[in-house]
Amino acid sequence: MQMKRVDTKIKILKILELNDFGVTQIALKLKLSNQIIHRYIKDLLANKFILQKGEAPHTVYSLNQEYKYTRIQTDFIFARKKILPSFLKKYIKFNLPDINRADYILDFMLQSSAVYSSNIEGVSIDLNSFINSQKLSKGVQKEVSEVNDLVEAYSLAKLNKLNQKNFLKSHGLLSRHILSKARQGRYRSEGVGVFGQEGLVYSAPEGFLVQNEMRILFEIIDELLVKKMSDAEVVFWSSWLHLEIALIHPFLDGNGRAARLLEKWFLVEKKNETIWSLQTEHYYFQNRPKYYANLRKTDNYWEADFVNFNNFIKLLFDFFLEYK
């Protein structure tokens, strides 16, 4: 039922992109009752996505031009045309490392990635303790379970193509001990924010818009996956995807873990499976202050200026340059 409600609100907004319409006209286009459309219209008015014009029975509705209901495609075009060229110019000789497959100990590397990605989110268990977790007290077993869940998510990604269905499956695995079963592998429908010591530091997009943003994001991912690109382009778009998941904040929890997994998943798809062994998560953990400072460059999804995130993108390039 929630999925239907979300989809219908998006459809109403897209109809109003074309022209101003009344409830009956919208109901006819969507083959729904006036009563149902009135309920959706009430929600959209309350959230200021649309405006009311005229009095009954001649009331019509229009988009509020001061409020956006999608930005992901605009972000992509801006990044491609305005930001990417400067990175390609700066990293003109950049190449991803060739990893000796003889040194490619995948299971251990996936465990390490999962531990450090979890550490960024506040899990305290270290890699050595996780590997020897059977000796740990019951008090830390929940943390062990969270890391194990993330290991399974990485393992799923290793064996499957990157697409929206598999991305949701990976979240379903990594969130088993941090969300209720009904929330695992499902985009949120609620509004959420990120809180710090000073209170609310970031407002994510409204819940009913998340599915639309993620649908468009994966259309972009499909486009990028088939496009021939340089190593510098691969790294740029990998970090951009990481950033967009952090900004959209599509889940009630597990967004950071999912964003870092998606970043590496894309790198693997564009390069080869040995990329799974690279410890980008460890690098982000070691550089947490810089990681968060460069990620928190806006307090609202709709007002984010992508130019302010150049240093976040640069972090992944720095990792590879230090790796060499």
Residues 285 and 146 in one domain: yes
Question: Which of 41, 63, 85 is at the close of a domain?
Answer: 63
Residues 38 and 87 in one domain: no
Domain that holds residue 8: 2-63
What pLDDT score does 99 carry?
Answer: 82
Residues 194 and 257 in one domain: yes
Residues 187 and 253 in one domain: yes
Residues 32 and 147 in one domain: no
Residues 58 and 20 in one domain: yes
DSSP result, 231-255? HHHHHHHHHHHHHHHHHH--SSS-H
The CATH number of the domain where 110 resides is what?
1.10.3290.10
Residues 255 and 275 in one domain: yes
Residues 145 and 35 in one domain: no
pTM: predicted TM-score of the whole model, two decimal places: 0.87
Burial class (CB in 10 A: 0-12, 13-18, 19+), 122: exposed
Residues 154 and 38 in one domain: no
Q: What's the CA gap between 281 and 276, in Å, rounded?
A: 11
- pLDDT per residue, tens digit, the chain (324 aa), is 344 455 788 899 989 988 999 999 999 999 999 999 999 999 899 888 899 999 888 899 999 987 778 999 999 999 999 999 999 999 999 999 888 766 567 789 999 999 999 999 999 999 988 888 766 666 688 899 999 999 999 999 999 999 999 999 999 999 999 999 999 999 998 889 888 778 888 999 999 899 999 999 999 999 999 999 999 999 999 999 999 999 999 999 999 999 999 999 999 999 999 999 999 999 999 999 999 999 999 999 988 999 999 999 999 999 999 986
Residues 206 and 241 in one domain: yes
Residues 86 and 193 in one domain: yes
What pLDDT score does 144 carry?
Answer: 92
Residues whose CB falls within 8 Å of the CB of residue 282, separated by 6 or more in sequence, listed in order: 112, 113, 116
Please state the domain count of the chain.
2
The CATH number of the domain where 45 resides is what?
1.10.10.10
Residues 133 and 37 in one domain: no
What pLDDT score does 6 carry?
Answer: 58
